[in-house]
Amino acid sequence: MKTAVRKRGLPLSESVGAMVRMTHQAFAQDLQNHLADHDIPVGMWFYLRALWEEDGLTQRALSQRVGATEATTAQQLTRMEARGYVTRRRSDTDRRNSHVHLTRSGRALQDKLLSYAVTVNANALSGFSAADVQQLREYLARMRANLAERQQARRATHAREEKS
């Protein structure tokens, strides 16, 4: 049976993409277990995390930073505003842009919640040496770069085809 599957394609157990996705899901679930005590969904966590690193991002930049659509980001920010974690302010230089700023409450969550990410990462990387972790980071960064390069090439090809 394994030979038949291999002839048709890549078995799930050998797919690096599937393994990365399942690993991400395990990270997210473990983190959610910690965040639940604070009534913070893991989806909201990604936005908070990005804003803790760089407050005042435009809504579009925040979408790109967390890898979400602008519509998803708008919905999440509405929830975060309702909880008092963020405010949105129109740009002084370009009224089409909104900048997202943490409130005092949103910033205060960092001290409570960031340690959970440290714990989840430490648990996931248990048994790995520092060199292993560095190598893993390099491999993942290289995979992202490879895929980004392919996406860019596809967009360029598509743009050329549309001009023709």
Indicate whether 90 belongs to any domain: yes
> Cα(3)–Cα(8) distance, rounded to whole angstroms?
9
The answer on 143 and 96 residing in a single domain is no
Indicate whether 120 belongs to any domain: yes
| pLDDT at 1 (0 to 100) | 44
The answer on 100 and 41 residing in a single domain is yes
The answer on 102 and 81 residing in a single domain is yes
The answer on 91 and 65 residing in a single domain is yes
- Tally of domains in the chain: 2
| pLDDT at 7 (0 to 100) | 56
Indicate whether 1 belongs to any domain: no
| pLDDT at 141 (0 to 100) | 96
Do strands 98-102 and 86-90 pair parallel, antiparallel, or not at all (unpaired)? Answer: antiparallel
Tokens of 113: 């919640």
| pLDDT at 62 (0 to 100) | 97
> Cα(144)–Cα(40) distance, rounded to whole angstroms?
28
The answer on 163 and 106 residing in a single domain is no
| pLDDT at 74 (0 to 100) | 94
Angle at CA of residue 63, ends 112 and 103, nearest 5°? 40
39: left (phi over 0), alpha (psi -120 to 50) or beta: left
The answer on 134 and 58 residing in a single domain is no
Its pTM stands at: 0.80
Indicate whether 62 belongs to any domain: yes
Domain membership of residue 42 as a residue range: 16-126
- Print pLDDT tens along the chain (164 aa): 454 445 568 888 889 999 999 999 999 999 999 999 999 999 999 999 999 999 999 999 999 999 999 999 999 999 999 999 999 998 777 777 889 999 999 999 999 899 999 999 999 999 999 999 999 999 999 999 999 999 888 888 877 777 77
